[in-house]
Amino acid sequence: MRYAARYSGRISFFAYLMSMLVFTCWLAGRVDRTTVVHTAFLFACPHLLHFGYLATNISMSAITPEPVKVAGGALAYGMILTHPLWVRRLRPRHGWHVVRYLYVGLVMMLTFVARLKGEFPGADPSLVHGVGIALCLLAIVAFLWQWRALR
């Protein structure tokens, strides 16, 4: 389960990056709303699967997660799973999208930071985690750059 959680998380991370890239293109008028809804949904699906693996791994390993991390992660999961619905209803420049992409990106980066600090039992710190942080920061900067360019 540990490996399933780890690798489904990595797949989900790339789906997040793809979703953010497509949304950024929507801000620039290069893609339509339907494409954004589909990529938001394609991010939500593997992340929901990742949650299942993660919860099972935590349960099987008798790990007691920190309440603050559980609350923060639950909020991120809620944002991820409901985002396809919000994309259908809200205009591209609505502030909800900024909050959602930045918050989910922050949670992902903090997860990578925790891995680098060795806070995950059974997972050694790796260069992959640093690359994940860098990719997330790059995606957030590109997203905010495009967001600001439209003002």
How many other β-carbons are positioned within 10 Å of the β-carbon of residue 150?
Answer: 10
pLDDT, residue 37, reads 97
pLDDT tens string 19-77: 999 999 999 899 999 999 999 999 999 999 999 999 998 889 888 888 999 999 999 99
Cα(87)–Cα(38) distance, rounded to whole angstroms? 10
pLDDT tens string 65-100: 889 999 999 999 999 999 999 999 999 989 999 999
148 and 29 in contact (C-beta within 8 Å)? Answer: no
Task: Kindly state the DSSP code that residue 28 receives in the 8-state scheme.
Answer: T
What is the DSSP track for 97-141? HHHHHHHHHHHHHHHHHHHHTT-STT----HHHHHHHHHHHHHHH
Give residues with Cβ within 8 angstroms of 116, minimum separation 6: 125, 129, 130, 133
Q: What is the pTM of this model?
A: 0.91
The answer on pLDDT for 151 being more than 70 is: no
The answer on pLDDT for 150 being more than 80 is: no
Number of H helices, E strands in the chain: 5, 0
Cα(96)–Cα(52) distance, rounded to whole angstroms? 26
pLDDT band at 148 (very low <50, low <70, confident <90, very high): confident
Q: Where are the domains of the chain?
A: 2-149
Task: At 36, list the tokens.
Answer: 């954004």
The answer on pLDDT for 126 being more than 90 is: no
Task: Kindly state the DSSP code that residue 31 receives in the 8-state scheme.
Answer: S
- Per-residue CA distances from 31 to 92, 116, 138 (Å): 11, 36, 21
